[in-house]
Structure 1
């Protein structure tokens, strides 16, 4: 077991040193000595504590969960083969084909990282949030502050846990009922394509048991429009209401959704979004 932990630790250190900070969305300054990511940057990207990442890299942390290894693989922008190697070095089976993938290809991460002036979140087919930038956190709340299992849009809409509590109030121009129905329709589609995914099955079962609204939507046969585009008002506690265009871009070949929020250049909403972007960047750097 100690040998396995050493192999996992060595991979983490090597792949952290390999990843360019710019490709991960961090500003590179002249005084920077480390060629790759700093440990605290990896922790931030993976939604983990710096101390836990340190213990993993030193081989002192035992039995990291599949969620932790998956988060590290995404943060390190690993290929599928490298991701599988990291899982095996942790003593875990890699994610099987035929299940909802949370893997974000490196090219998509680099693209999203360069869009740091707008909020960007990347979701899996079951509407689990698997990647986000600092502007997303500044606009909608920091996903790393809630448990990884709660980072799901359906749980935020229908649940009563940390995801629902942490979400800033958002109003859809289409109406909240239509928006909720579109998310349920997307989940129904995911279930039809991934009938043997245990995590997806557990999500649906839990929401049907705990949310009357979700159970009603799930039992409704009326066709709903998939969630693709909307105009939303975010009731932000610091800058007030912001009206933004929300667009959902499908990532071909990866079964991921990239969600963006934008405002017309020169508008008051764009100014408010810019204020949040600057505040988010300062918070991320500790300024």
Structure 2
């Protein structure tokens, strides 16, 4: 039975991954060297109850997004990832789809960037991974599902982000988003999820449709952004986007100039995480 085999595989690979390998503290008494269910749920951005039901074979047909998140959290190789997709009775993502695979070596690099807000996006600007500092700065994305995880959708249709865009730079930012998405559709013309995203954006945002139909061009560049944080106030930070060769992924990193008030506020957020601040 595929459902039972999927759960057994998740449990087997969970036992294989140590907290240190997953970038988590190993403190306290542990009955086994591997990850706890709570830790896997945290890393994958899904509920502990759902992890439990998957491992026990009581949850069927996990989505491709859930399988991808589990594969990343479990540090699976490409062949192991493909096997997990097949156990979920899903076709492993092929070359015609937007890549979402984060290699274990890239994951280890990201684990070391704990002092700065870091997020990984696929080529269509769908959020794949965000560290604790990023969640504290921009809002916890663990509950976001589907298009909620896509930055283009969030800007044109959804609630937007905490980043402030002055009127003089807003048009260039929007043009860059649309141009990026247009470029991605050219590289992955058979990706059905990407086609659906563009169709929904055109149907629900007159501004997106206008830019799309006009053939807007632009490119993302390093920039200083002001983040309006609801608890510590505005922070002006440098935002750099690194493109990973051969993977079509974007790594976004926020940093502050040392010795500034912005650096102090960012350090406070990094320490406090997403917990509610009491004034």
Post-superposition CA distance 1:225-257 (Å, at most 9, x none): x21311100000000000000000011111100
The SS at the match of 2:134 is helix
Q: Contact 2:140–2:274 (CA<8 Å) still a contact in 1?
A: no
Q: Report the counterpart of residue 233 of structure 1 in structure 2.
A: 226
Q: Report the counterpart of residue 117 of structure 1 in structure 2.
A: 115
CA displacement at 1:168 relative to structure 2: 2.4
Q: 1:34 and 1:175, CA in 2 relative to 1: closer, same or farther beyond 3 A?
A: farther
Structure 2 counterpart of 1:256, from 249, 257, 278? 249
The answer on 1:193 being equivalent to 2:187 is: yes
Q: Contact 1:251–1:258 (CA<8 Å) still a contact in 2?
A: yes
The answer on 1:205 being equivalent to 2:199 is: yes
CA displacement at 1:76 relative to structure 2: 1.2
**Partner Cα separation in structure 2 for residue 44 and residue 94 of structure 1:** 24
CA displacement at 1:260 relative to structure 2: 0.4
The SS at the match of 2:257 is coil
**Partner Cα separation in structure 2 for residue 148 and residue 109 of structure 1:** 22
Question: Aligned pair count?
Answer: 276
Post-superposition CA distance 1:188-231 (Å, at most 9, x none): 1101101111111111111011101101111223531x213111
Q: Contact 1:173–1:232 (CA<8 Å) still a contact in 2?
A: no
The answer on 1:175 being equivalent to 2:166 is: no
Structure 2 counterpart of 1:13, from 4, 11, 14? 11
TM-score of the aligned structures, taking structure 1 as reference length? 0.91
Unmatched runs of 5 consecutive residues or more in structure 2 = none
Q: Structure 2 matches for 1:1-287, cutoff 5 A?
A: 3-29=1-27, 31-160=29-158, 164=159, 167-171=161-165, 175-224=169-218, 226-280=219-273
Q: 1:158 and 1:173, CA in 2 relative to 1: closer, same or farther beyond 3 A?
A: closer
CA displacement at 1:40 relative to structure 2: 0.9
Q: Contact 1:172–1:179 (CA<8 Å) still a contact in 2?
A: no
- Pairwise CA RMSD: 1.8
CA displacement at 1:99 relative to structure 2: 1.0
Unmatched runs of 5 consecutive residues or more in structure 1 = none
CA displacement at 1:18 relative to structure 2: 1.4
